[in-house]
């Protein structure tokens, strides 16, 4: 701790009267930097209402770095060497440039003034740590983001010459990070890097309005154009607003944590003909009994303590089509998860869905997956082959010759049932193979097994879609054909 | 329900694998082959598990997916047409079975889409927003069908955008005689606003009403 210097008004020698007793090498550097400043310039700035840390970061040529974090602003003031008699006591005056941010003075969410007792980085870090812990995230590394009111750069320009500011100066954002990062790392017990977990400190200007209605961005922009920046050097100014007004209210600080989305992959089965793939609601009424998305996502979300989830699947099927065989690959994306469930709990979730009473949906291979998930979904997309089994009726009895089937190219126009929302196009699709399986005791019904290229509308292939899909089952067999039910029996991805 | 399997398909995948495994059989492969067969059997029973009773003639795709409406004596006596409306709002237009053209001997021999100001069969509608579609009112002419005796104008009956006409009819006009209600459809129209359809609907009658009306007049 250093002694406070006696105020020496009019002293222009540039040397301290007081003496420095400590000899911590880190802070000594800061001390020297502070003492090297021109005292009358410092005095002017202090009397304007600029805080010590702002002065140091904007005038000094030395690097503003983490050494500064441990130095309180009252100590700093002493080192800067000029006493200011007429200004209000340092405790209550909020810096007109950084609006109290670098003085660790701010209001919390409830508009209560918060002032750190220990006026250095560690106190601030402790306060932030409390708020972070409240949000409940599990993490071992974090990235710090800071968001500041835009008026700060205006304030800087009002007080300092534009040219001076252009050369490398430490911004308020960087200064804050420097002051707070090391203590934060220590109190959170985590590394800091560009990780997937972000802590965002948002400072916003407190409003002047008693009702607390904050100014819209539009109004703020309008106000900005009204202010002409004062140039201190040549004294010309036609300011309609005075940036040197005393700042009475500090900024409001809110701390928000966000985890980047995490992904889970697996394959799902759909055993019901009344379950849609994704949530389907028309006019407040749900279509179908449930949805695959909600059944799977709704089980994983609570295990992650996340905010919300998104469901992505490799293709889709109609509500009345079952998904059997090896299942369809899917991804669940969870936003802002607080914790990552273990493989054990994922297996338990899988079992719970598979053993549920209603047996609407099944899941297999549920596991956590990293950023390679999108590549997995896109794998073999163009070559994806799908296998189906359809129950088909024809208007004439099935004969032996009919069972010789061929692989063929079919040309289909956009089916009427999706024409309202898709482009009218003619598409060529390949049917890789077809197999007709008789049903004993019935000559008009049979099981049609087929393997097709991705994007083939099976229902339209069977009934012909009023002749817009050629060839169709009807045209191949020379009669009318209808599809009774359809099941997906396999979705081949590149690896399977 | 027992199933008789008749695999006479040219399916390169499964046919070949089954044959080769039969030839070079080690214990493992036999097991695998059995497993596969078991899986297939299981799959088959699942596929047929919820059929229930199979009706002799199931409802057609048109009956399942569309609601049928009719309009009779539209602008002229005997000009009866159907409008099949899909759940998504699209309307398929065609000649109803009682249309006067079918009464002429030999049925319909020709169809011409070049009526009114443009040839309906050359329009190219593109994109999701259905650009370049012709806007139609309910009495806009769609095409002209001709028989040995006379020719008759077919109109849109629905206000909206004309998405598609059935060009196959140009080369195969007999489709109109054999299956006017399926492959012989004439056009697909998308009503532009729900309000337009509600207004249109007032002049249409349902299938039941149509049957009753035509029974009486016949």
- Interface membership of A464 toward B (CB under 8 Å): yes
Q: How far is CA A78 from CA A81, A157, A197, A442, in A?
A: 5, 26, 39, 101
Instruction: For chain B, give the mean pLDDT.
Output: 78
Q: Both B65 and B37 in a single domain?
A: no
CB contact B133 to A (< 8 Å): no
- Give CA torsion, residues A493, A496, B5, B7, to 10 deg: 80
Instruction: Determine, yes or no, domain membership for B4.
Output: no
Whether omega before A34 lies within 30 degrees of 0, making that bond cis, reads no
DSSP assignment letter at A208: S
Backbone torsions φ then ψ of A180, nearest 5 degrees: -110, -20
CB proximity B50 to A under 8 Å? yes
Domain identity same for B27 and B115: no
- Please, which residues bridge with residue B81 across strands? B71, B95
Helix (H/G/I), strand (E/B), else coil: B33:
helix
In this predicted model, what pLDDT tens digit does every residue of B112-162 receive, in sequence order? 888 878 888 887 788 888 887 888 888 888 888 888 888 888 888 888 988
CB contact B193 to A (< 8 Å)? no
Residue of A nearest to B2 (CA): A440
* Contact criterion met (CB below 8 Å) for A9 and A46: no
Looking at the structure, do residues B76 and B182 belong to the same domain, yes or no? yes
Identify which of B44, B66, B124, B16 has the alpha carbon closest to the alpha carbon of residue A423. Answer: B124
Dihedral angle computed from the Cα positions of residues A391, A394, A396 and A400, in that order, rounded to the nearest 10 degrees? -50
- Please choose, from the candidates A366, A358, A372, the residue with its C-alpha nearest in 3D space to the C-alpha of residue A272: A358
C-beta separation of A54 from A97 below 8 A:
yes
How far apart are alpha carbons A34 and A377 in whole angstroms?
59
Q: Do B7 and A484 make contact, defined as CB atoms within 8 angstroms?
A: no
CATH number at B67 reads: 2.40.50.100
Q: Are strands A105-107 and B151-155 parallel, antiparallel or unpaired?
A: unpaired
Task: Pick the more confident residue, B213 or B81.
Answer: B81
In order, the DSSP letters of A244-287 are TSPB-S--EEEEEEEEPPEEEEEEEEE--TTEESS--EETTEES
B126 inside 8 A of chain A by CB: yes
B47 with B65, same domain: the answer is no
The reported pLDDT for the residue numbered A362 is 93
In three-state secondary structure terms, A188 is helix
B44 and B122 housed in the same domain:
no
Other CB atoms within 10 Å distance of the CB of residue A146: 18
CB spacing of B128 vs A416 below 8 angstroms: no
Residue in B5, B8, B183 closest to A404 by CB: B8
Taking only the tens of pLDDT, chain A with its 496 residues reads: 344 444 444 333 333 444 444 556 767 777 777 777 777 777 777 777 788 778 777 776 566 666 666 677 777 777 766 444 434 444 557 888 888 888 888 887 776 777 765 567 778 888 888 888 888 888 888 888 899 888 888 888 777 777 666 666 778 888 888 888 888 888 888 887 777 888 898 888 876 433 333 344 455 555 554 444 433 333 333 333 455 667 677 888 888 999 999 999 999 999 999 999 999 888 888 888 899 999 999 999 999 999 999 999 888 888 999 998 888 889 999 999 998 899 999 999 999 999 988 889 999 999 999 888 888 787 756 567 888 998 888 888 877 766 665 666 677 788 888 888 888 888 888 888 888 888 877 788 888 888 888 888 899 999 988 888 888 888 888 888 999 989 998 887 654 3
Which domain, by its residues, includes B16? 10-54
Nearest partner of A141 among A196, A187, A200, judged by Cα: A196
Q: Are residues B146 and B203 in the same domain?
A: yes
pLDDT tens-digit map of B182-206: 889 999 999 888 888 888 888 888 8
Residue B34 has pLDDT above 60, yes or no: yes
B62–A417 C-beta distance less than 8 A = no
Residues of chain B contacting residue A480, judged by C-beta atoms under 8 Å apart = 60
What's phi and psi for A220, nearest 5 deg? -65, -40
Closest CA to B137 of B164, B162, B158: B158
- How distant is the Cα of B168 from the closest Cα of chain A, in angstroms? 9
**pLDDT computed for residue B7 by the predictor:** 37
Q: How far is A422 from chain B (nearest CA, A)?
A: 5
| Segments in chain B forming alpha helices (H) | 12-23, 27-47, 61-65, 168-171, 174-178, 194-201, 207-217
For residue A202, the cross-strand partners are: A147, A254
Check whether residue B42 and residue B91 sit in a common domain: no
Distance from CA of A318 to the nearest CA of B (A): 14
Catalytic residue among A231, A318, A402, A490: A318
Chain B residues with CB-CB distance to A426 below 8 A:
none
Which chain A residue has the Cα nearest residue B40? A325
B181 and chain A in contact, CB less than 8 A: no
Q: Is A403 in Cβ contact with B9 (below 8 Å)?
A: yes
- Quote the distance between the C-alpha of residue A211 and its chain's center: 32
Is residue B81 helix, strand or coil? Answer: strand
In A316-372, alpha helices (H): 343-354
**Residues B144, B210 share a domain:** yes
Looking at the structure, do residues B47 and B94 belong to the same domain, yes or no? no
B67: contact with A, CB 8 A cutoff: no
For residue A318, indicate whether it is catalytic.
Answer: yes
Find out whether A331 and A265 touch, Cβ atoms under 8 Å: yes
Q: Is residue B189 part of a domain?
A: yes
Q: Does B10 touch chain A (CB under 8 A)?
A: yes
How far is B47 from A387, CA to CA, in rounded Å?
13
* B29 and B127, same domain (yes or no): no
For the residues of B87-148, what is the DSSP string, one character each?
A: TTS-EEEEE-TT-GGGGSTT-EEEEE-EETTEEGGG---BTTTTBTPEEE-TT-EEEEEEES
Tokens of B21: 């495994």
> Is B97 part of any domain?
yes
Q: Are A439 and B1 inside 8 Å of each other by CB?
A: yes
Interatomic CA distance for residues A284 and B81, integer angstroms = 35
CA A455 to each of CA A55, A387, A392, A461: distance values in angstroms, whole numbers, following the listed order: 66, 12, 20, 12
ipTM metric: 0.77
pTM for this predicted structure: 0.73
Question: Is the residue at B2 inside a domain?
Answer: no
Answer yes or no: is B73 within a domain: yes
Task: Establish how many alpha carbons lie within 13 A of residue A113's alpha carbon, considering only the half-sphere containing its beta carbon.
Answer: 11
Using only C-alpha atoms, chain B has a radius of gyration, in whole angstroms, of: 25
In this complex, do B86 and A416 lie within 8 Å of one another by their Cβ atoms?
yes
Judge whether B168 lies within some domain: yes
**Residue B215 pLDDT:** 75
- What is the tally of structural domains in chain B? 2
- Residue B188 is nearest to which of A416, A433, A464, comparing CB atoms? A416
Q: Quick check: B11 and A433 CB within 8 A?
A: yes
Does residue B101 share a domain with residue B21?
A: no
Is B173 inside any structural domain? yes
Q: Do A416 and B183 touch (CB under 8 A)?
A: no
CB contact under 8 A, B56 and A444: yes
Query: In this structure, which long-range contacts are made by residues B111-115, counting pairs with CB atoms below 8 Å and at least 24 apart in sequence?
Result: B111/B143, B111/B144, B111/B145, B111/B146, B111/B169, B111/B170, B111/B173, B111/B176, B112/B143, B112/B144, B112/B145, B112/B146, B113/B142, B113/B143, B113/B165, B113/B170, B115/B141, B115/B142, B115/B143, B115/B144, B115/B153
Under an 8 A CB cutoff, do B10 and A405 touch?
A: yes
Residue among B152, B154, B162 nearest B122 (CA): B162
CA distance A115 to A118: 9
Same domain for B66 and B108, yes or no, is: yes
Question: Is A435 touching B (CB cutoff 8 A)?
Answer: yes
Strands A141-147 and A191-192: parallel
Q: Is residue B164 in a domain?
A: yes
CB A201 within 8 A of CB A146: yes
Query: Which chain A residues touch B6 with a CB distance below 8 Å?
Result: 400, 403, 436-438
Residues 6+ apart with CB under 8 A from A268: A292, A296, A313, A323, A327, A328, A330, A361, A362, A363, A364
Query: Phi and psi at residue A358, in whole multiples of 5°?
Result: -80, -20
**Cα A126 to Cα A140: distance, rounded to the nearest angstrom:** 17
Q: Which residue of B has its CA nearest to A396?
A: B57
So what's the pLDDT on residue A378?
79
**Is B12 an 8 Å CB contact of chain A?**
yes
In b/e form, how buried is each residue of A79-105, taking b as 16+ CB within 10 angstroms? bbbbbbeeeeebeebbbbbbbbbbbbb
What is the C-alpha separation between B203 and B71, in angstroms, rounded? 7
């Amino acid at each position: 701790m250093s002694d406070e210097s006696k105020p020496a008004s009019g002293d222009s020698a540039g040397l301290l009267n007081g003496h420095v007793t400590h000899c911590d090498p880190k802070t000594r550097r800061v001390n020297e930097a502070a003492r090297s400043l021109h005292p009358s310039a410092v005095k002017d700035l202090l009397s304007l209402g600029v805080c010590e840390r702002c002065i140091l970061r904007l005038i000094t040529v030395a690097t503003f770095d983490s050494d500064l974090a441990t130095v309180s602003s009252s100590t700093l003031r002493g080192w800067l060497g000029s006493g200011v008699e007429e200004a209000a006591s340092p405790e209550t005056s909020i810096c007109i440039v950084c609006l109290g941010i670098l003085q660790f003075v701010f209001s919390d969410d409830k508009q209560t003034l918060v002032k750190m007792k220990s006026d250095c980085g560690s106190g601030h870090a402790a306060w932030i740590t409390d708020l972070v812990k409240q949000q409940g995230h599990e993490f071992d590394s974090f990235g710090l983001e800071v968001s500041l009111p835009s008026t700060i750069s205006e304030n800087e320009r009002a007080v300092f010459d534009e040219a001076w500011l252009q050369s490398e100066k430490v911004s308020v954002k960087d200064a804050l990070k420097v002051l707070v990062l090391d203590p934060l790392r220590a109190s959170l017990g985590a590394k800091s890097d560009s990780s997937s977990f972000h802590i965002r400190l948002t400072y916003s200007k407190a409003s002047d309005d008693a009702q607390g209605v904050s100014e819209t961005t539009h109004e703020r922009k309008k106000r900005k154009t009204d202010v002409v920046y004062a140039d201190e050097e040549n004294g010309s100014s036609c300011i309609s607003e005075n940036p040197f007004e005393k700042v009475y209210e500090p900024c409001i600080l809110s701390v928000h944590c966000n985890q980047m989305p995490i992904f889970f992959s697996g394959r799902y089965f759909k055993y019901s003909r009344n379950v849609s793939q994704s949530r389907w609601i028309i006019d407040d009424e749900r279509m179908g009994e449930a949805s695959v998305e909600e059944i799977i996502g709704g089980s994983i979300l609570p295990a992650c303590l996340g905010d919300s989830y998104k469901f992505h699947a490799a293709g889709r099927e109609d509500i009345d089509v079952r998904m059997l065989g090896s299942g369809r690959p899917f991804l669940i994306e969870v936003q802002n998860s607080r914790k990552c469930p273990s493989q054990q709990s994922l297996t338990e979730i899988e079992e719970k869905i598979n053993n549920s009473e209603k047996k609407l949906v099944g899941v297999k291979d549920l596991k956590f997956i990293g950023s390679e998930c999108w590549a997995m979904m896109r794998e073999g997309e163009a070559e994806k082959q799908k296998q189906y089994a359809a129950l088909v009726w024809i208007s004439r009895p099935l004969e032996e010759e009919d069972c010789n089937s061929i692989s063929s190219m079919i040309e289909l126009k956009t089916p009427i049932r999706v024409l309202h929302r898709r482009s009218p196009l003619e598409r060529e699709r390949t049917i890789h193979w077809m197999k007709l399986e008789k049903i004993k005791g019935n000559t008009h019904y049979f099981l049609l097994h087929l393997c097709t290229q991705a994007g083939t509308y099976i229902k339209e292939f069977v009934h012909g879609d009023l002749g817009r899909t050629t060839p169709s089952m009807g045209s191949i067999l020379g009669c009318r054909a209808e599809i009774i039910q359809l099941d997906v029996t396999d979705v081949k991805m590149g690896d399977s | 329900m027992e199933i008789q399997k008749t695999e006479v398909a040219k399916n390169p995948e499964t046919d070949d694998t089954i044959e080769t495994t039969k030839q070079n059989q080690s214990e493992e492969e036999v097991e695998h082959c059995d497993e596969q067969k078991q899986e297939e059997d299981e799959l088959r029973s699942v596929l047929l598990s919820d059929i229930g009773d199979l009706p002799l003639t199931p409802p057609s795709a048109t009956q399942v997916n569309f609601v049928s409406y009719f309009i009779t004596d539209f602008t002229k006596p005997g000009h009866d047409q159907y409008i099949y409306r899909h759940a998504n709002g699209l309307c398929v237009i065609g000649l109803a079975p009682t249309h006067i053209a079918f009464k002429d001997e030999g049925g319909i021999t020709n169809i011409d889409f070049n009526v009114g100001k443009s040839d309906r069969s050359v329009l190219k509608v593109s994109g999701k927003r259905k650009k370049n579609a012709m806007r139609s009112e309910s009495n806009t002419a769609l095409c002209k069908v001709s028989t040995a005796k006379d020719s008759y104008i077919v109109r849109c009956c629905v206000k909206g955008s004309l998405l598609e006409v059935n060009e196959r009819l140009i080369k195969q006009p007999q489709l109109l005689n054999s299956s006017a209600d399926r492959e012989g459809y004439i056009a697909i129209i998308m009503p532009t606003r729900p309000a337009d359809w509600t207004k249109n609907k007032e002049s249409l009658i349902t299938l039941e009403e149509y049957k009753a009306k035509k029974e009486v007049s016949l």
